[in-house]
Amino acid sequence: MKFQAQVEPPEPMRGLEVPPEVVAALGGGARPPVTITVNGHSWKSRVALLRGRHLLGLSHANRRAAGVATGDEVEVEVELDTEPRVVVEPADFARALDDDPVARAAYDDLAYSHKREHVRAIESAKKPETRQRRIEKAIAALRG
The domain limits of the chain are 2-80, 91-143
Q: What is the pLDDT of residues 49-102, one digit of tens each?
A: 888 889 999 888 899 999 999 899 999 999 999 988 889 999 999 999 999 999
Angle at 2 between CA 47 and CA 29, to 5 degrees: 30
Pairwise CA distance, residues 54 & 135, whole Å: 37
Phi, psi of 34, rounded to the nearest 5 degrees? -140, 160
CATH for the 2-80 domain, from 2.40.33.10, 2.40.30.100, 1.10.3720.10, 3.30.565.10: 2.40.30.100
pTM: 0.67
